[in-house]
Amino acid sequence: MNVGILSWIIDRQRTGVDNYLYGTLEEMIKQGKSQNITLIHHKKNDDPVYQRCKDVLIPHIPLNLTCYLGMPYAVSKANVDVVHFPAHWHTQSSSFFLNRNVKKILTIHDLIPLLYPESYSRNLARRWNTSLKLIINRADHLIAVSQKTKEDCIEYLNIPPENITVIPNGYSNAFHPITNGEKVKKHIESTYNLDKYILFIGRVEARKNLTTLIKAFHKLKKSGLSHKLAIIGGMGWQHEEVLREIKRLDLQSEVVFPGYVPEEDLVKFYNAADLFVYPSLYEGFGLPPLEAMACGTPVVTSNTSSLPEVVGDAGIMVDPMDVDALADSMQRVLTDDALHEKLRNMGITKAQEFSWEKTAHETWQVYGQVLNDY
C-alpha cells in the first residue's frame, strides 16, 4: 500500500492542524511506514520527517493555477493508491475532481466556518463552505477528530455515519509535568515578566469567547486576585473586540500577550500556570486543554462541542457564556488546594488516553480499510 500525504503545512510555523499532521506522520515513520509514504509538498527542508519519506514537489506555478494544475499533477506523479488530505482548504478542491483512480481520505477537524462564519472574513467563510460542499461527497472516507465533529458532519453535511471514522488527536511528548517547578517559574518570570498567572492559549477571535473570560477575570480582580492573565496566540478575525474589552475594564496591565512562544517555553508556560482556562464556544477537538492536562495544570473549560470528550471529569466544565459560573470555578481552583491537586492528578491520567502513536496506528488502518487490505 502506497500512501500520499499532502504535507506542505509542515513547511511553516506549526499550529493546530499542522501539529496534527506532524504528530501523526512522525509516529507513522516510527512505526516503520516511511517506505510506503510519499509526501506531496512545495519544498524540501532539513526536518527529519522529510528525510525519511519519498516526496513529490508541487510545481512552482502561479498561485491561482496551483490547485487546478500543480497539485493534481503532483498527486498523479506520486503514483500512490490513496492520498490523505490532512485538512480541508478551498485550494485543494480540484484534486478531488481529478486523479479519479486514487482513493481520497479527508480529515475534518471542525465545521467552524459553517457553524460560526463570524469567526472569519465573509469571503474566506464563503469560499471554505462552497469548496467543502463540492468535495465532501467525493472523498472515499472521512476522518473526524472527535465524536462531535462526526455528529456535525452527519447533521450539517448529510454524510452517512459509516463513511466517517473518529480518530482523536494526540499531543507531543514534550508536554509533561516538570519536576523542578521553581526553576520553571523563575524562567517565566525572568523571560516574560510573569509571576502568578492564569493561562489561555489559542487564537484571539470571537469563537474563543475571550470577552467572557476577560469579564470573569475582572470579577476576580475586584475580589483581590493577584494573578495576571496570560494570553498566548495570534490575533484572529475581529480580535479588536477583545482588546476593547480589556481597555474598557482597565485591565491593560493585568492581561498580557507574550506573543509567539517556542514549544520548549510553551511547556514551561503550562507548568508554571496556576490554572488553564479555555471558555471556547466551539472546538473540533481542543488541543490546548489536553496539553495543559498532560502538564498537570488544572483546567476550567466549556461544556460545549468536543471539549467534554477531551477533558471529561478531569476538569471543571461550565456554560461558556455564564460569567459568574466561569469566575466562580476559577476562584475555586485557585483557592482550594485539595481541588487543585485532585484536578492535577486526574488531568495527567486523562491525557494518557490520547497519543499520536494511537492516532497514527488508527489512521493507517483507515488507509487499508479503504483499499480493502484489511
Q: What is the mean pLDDT of the chain?
A: 89
Query: Are 154 and 8 found together in one domain?
Result: yes
Instruction: Label residue 16 by pLDDT band (50, 70, 90).
Output: low
Residue 123, domain member (yes or no) = yes
In a domain, 287, yes or no: yes
- 335's CB contacts (< 8 A; 6+ apart) are none
Q: Residue type for 243, please?
A: L
Please report which confidence band the pLDDT of residue 290 belongs to, taking 50, 70 and 90 as the band edges: very high
Distances (CA, A) of 313 to 213, 303, 321, 329, 334: 21, 11, 20, 14, 18
Give yes or no: residues 163 and 224 share one domain.
no
Same structural domain for residues 146 and 239? no
Same domain, 217 and 102: no
All three cell numbers of 292, joined, read 495543559
What is the distance between the alpha carbons of residues 36 and 53, in angstroms, rounded to a whole number?
A: 8
For residue 295, how many C-alpha atoms fall within 13 Å in the half-sphere facing its CB? 31
Judge if 156 and 305 occupy the same domain. Answer: no
Band of pLDDT at residue 189, cut at 50, 70 and 90: very high
Asked whether residue 361 carries a pLDDT value surpassing 70, the answer given is: yes
Residue 351, all three cell numbers:
491525557
User: What is the model's pLDDT at position 66?
Assistant: 57
For the chain, the three-class secondary structure string (H helix, E strand, C coil) is CCEEEECHHHHCCCCHHHHHHHHHHHHHHHCCCHHHEEEEECCCCCCHHHHHCEEEECCCCCHHHHHHHHHHHHHHHHCCCEEEECCCCHHHHHHHHCCCCCEEEEEECCCHHHHCHHHCCHHHHHHHHHHHHHHHHHCCEEEECCHHHHHHHHHHHCCCHHHEEECCCCCCCCCCCCCCHHHHHHHHHHHHCCCCEEEEECCECHHHCHHHHHHHHHHHHHCCCCCEEEEECCECCCCHHHHHHHHHCCCCCCEECCCCCCHHHHHHHHHHCCEEEECCCCCCCCHHHHHHHHCCCCEEEECCCCHHHHHHHHCEEECCCCHHHHHHHHHHHHHCHHHHHHHHHHHHHHHCCCCHHHHHHHHHHHHHHHCCCC
- The answer to whether position 128 is within a domain reads yes
Give the residue-averaged pLDDT of 61-79.
71
Q: Does the residue 176 lie in any domain?
A: no
Find cell 517555553 and name the residue.
265
Q: Looking at the structure, do residues 190 and 264 belong to the same domain, yes or no?
A: yes
Mean pLDDT within 120-137? 79
Do 254 and 189 share a structural domain?
Answer: yes
128 with 234, same domain?
no
Which pLDDT tens digit goes with each residue over 207-249?
899 999 999 999 999 999 999 999 999 888 788 999 999 999 9
Mean predicted confidence (pLDDT) in 124-130: 79
Task: Domain of residue 222: give its range.
Answer: 181-351
pLDDT at 252 over 80: yes
Whether 202 is in a domain gets the answer: yes
How long a stretch of residues is the chain? 374
- Distance (Å, whole) CA 102 – CA 290: 35
Q: Are residues 326 and 363 in the same domain?
A: no
Residue 259 falls inside a structural domain: yes
* b/e sequence 124-143, b meaning 16+ C-beta within 10 Å: ebebbbebbeebbeebebbb
Indicate the number of domains in the chain: 2
For residue 94, pLDDT over 80 is answered with no
Q: What is the CATH number of the domain that holds 322?
A: 3.40.50.2000
Residues 334 and 359 in one domain: no
Q: Is 238 exposed, middle or buried (0-12, 13-18, 19+ CB in 10 A)?
A: middle
Q: Are 104 and 211 in the same domain?
A: no
Q: Are residues 252 and 302 in the same domain?
A: yes
Provide the phi-psi class of 99: left if phi over 0, else alpha when psi is between -120 and 50, else beta: left
In a domain, 18, yes or no: yes
Q: According to the model, what pLDDT value does residue 89 have?
A: 66
Q: Is residue 175 part of a domain?
A: no
When pLDDT is averaged across residues 202-206 and rounded to a whole number, the result is 87
pTM to 2 decimals? 0.91
pLDDT recorded at residue 90 = 47
